[in-house]
């Protein structure tokens, strides 16, 4: 029997968490917008405590995103927040800033550390460096192709996490770019009206069939990919390589869509873990996802089969 990789999903509410756990998620990623970026929803400490209670009751784990760009004004709030997360009993935090690592080691040493540096997590040496500093997992860059991921795994001295489904961030700025544009056009903007719920998107003049979701929050402006990653067909390659955790990105997707996706990946993971030699991808799994996929968003392999040029 193969080692079964974790299936991780980001949850934007307690209701999301309950649904995704029931669908088969073995771990949940939650957080608050002050300290984490591009979350499907911002949870209070009380709500995170509810999610931990739900997840641990089912043998699942809870991770908290602390991947924001830590500015000086955030640092005084960090110790109390991390201590509270430790008291709540979260299993790990995602971080990209050493200030988070040192604070966790000092105030919540029982909480594991997952290094998430977005697109710069591209080699095993740097990942192992953060492992030597206390990280137990690296979230690999979504820009890596399949060979780079599978070749890197044997060189890692810590766990590896890979995104296998959903949209990806392609641009971030701390500035309120859409708000500024609207004001220049003489269109006043109410505070908070450019968030995820607005459904805004960008269209390039040269490629008007591609729509890039864009939204603003307290962390600035976020532009997302025009396609959704879906590696279900070749998930077995990542499982054979020993990747430890597969993330379903739920951002800007309805709960029912995410539930179907999680159930589908759960089925594939369970079948492979039960008997890898007998495992075979089944096309009907994709049919279920395609039936609810936004027709304006293509399902693609992302960077998994794109040759990298450095």
Using DSSP's 3-state secondary structure scheme, residue 258 falls into: helix
Q: CB neighbours of 202 closer than 8 A, spacing ≥ 6?
A: 211, 212, 214, 223
Please report the pLDDT score of residue 126 as a whole number. 95
Nearest to 7 by CA among 27, 29, 21: 27
Cα(143)–Cα(149) distance, integer angstroms: 10
- Where are the alpha helices (H) located in the chain, listed in sequence order? 14-23, 45-57, 78-88, 98-107, 124-132, 146-152, 177-184, 235-241, 255-274, 283-290
pLDDT value of position 310:
41
Encode pLDDT of 139-156 as tens digits. Answer: 999 999 999 999 999 999
- The packing angle between helices 78-88 and 98-107, to 10°, is 50
Q: What is the pLDDT confidence band of residue 226, given thresholds at 50, 70 and 90?
A: confident
Instruction: Compute the radius of gyration of the chain from its Cα atoms.
Output: 19
Query: Please, what is the average pLDDT of the chain?
Result: 90
- Architecture per CATH, domain 6-168+227-300, reads as Alpha-Beta Barrel (3.20)
Task: Give the Cα separation of 55 and 264 in Å (integer).
Answer: 20
Query: Taking the domains of the chain in order of start, what are their residue ranges?
Result: 6-168+227-300
pLDDT at 191: 56
Q: In this structure, what DSSP letter does residue 277 have? A: G
pLDDT digits (tens, 9 = 90+) for 33-58: 999 999 999 999 999 999 999 999 99
- 253-295 tens-digit pLDDT: 999 999 999 999 999 999 999 999 999 999 999 999 999 999 9
Summarised one tens digit per residue, pLDDT across range 72-115 is 999 999 999 999 999 999 999 999 999 999 999 999 999 999 99
Among residues 55, 135, 132, 59, which one has the least CA distance to residue 95?
135
pLDDT at residue 164, rounded to an integer:
97
For 129-140, what is each residue's pLDDT tens digit? 999 999 999 999
Neighbours of 109 (CB within 10 A): 11
């Amino acid at each position: 029997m193969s080692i079964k990789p974790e299936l991780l999903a980001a949850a934007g509410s307690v209701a999301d968490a309950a649904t995704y756990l029931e669908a088969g998620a073995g771990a949940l990623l939650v957080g608050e917008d002050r300290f984490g970026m591009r979350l499907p929803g911002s949870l209070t400490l009380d709500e995170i405590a509810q999610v931990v209670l739900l997840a641990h009751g089912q043998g699942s784990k809870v991770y908290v995103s602390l991947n924001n760009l830590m500015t000086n004004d955030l640092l005084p709030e960090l110790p109390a927040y991390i201590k509270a997360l430790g008291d709540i009993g979260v299993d790990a935090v995602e971080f990209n800033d050493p200030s988070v690592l040192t604070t966790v080691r000092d105030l919540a040493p029982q909480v594991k550390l997952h290094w998430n540096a977005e697109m710069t997590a591209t080699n095993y040496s740097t990942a192992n460096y953060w492992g030597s500093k206390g990280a137990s997992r690296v979230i690999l860059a979504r820009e890596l192709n399949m060979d780079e991921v599978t070749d890197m795994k044997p060189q890692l001295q810590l766990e590896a996490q890979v995104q296998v489904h959903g949209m990806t961030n392609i641009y971030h700025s701390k500035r309120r770019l859409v708000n500024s544009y609207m004001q220049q056009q003489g269109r006043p903007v109410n505070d908070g009206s450019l968030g995820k719920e607005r459904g805004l998107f960008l269209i390039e003049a040269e490629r008007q069939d591609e729509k890039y979701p864009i939204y603003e929050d307290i962390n600035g402006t976020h532009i997302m990919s025009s396609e959704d990653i879906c590696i279900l067909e070749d998930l077995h390659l990542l499982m054979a390589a020993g990747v430890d955790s597969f993330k379903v990105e739920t951002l800007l997707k309805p709960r029912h869509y995410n539930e179907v996706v999680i159930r589908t990946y759960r089925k594939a993971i369970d079948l492979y873990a039960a008997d890898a030699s007998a495992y075979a991808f089944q096309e009907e799994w994709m049919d279920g996802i395609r039936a609810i996929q936004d027709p304006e968003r293509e399902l693609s392999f992302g960077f998994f089969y794109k040759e990298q040029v450095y």
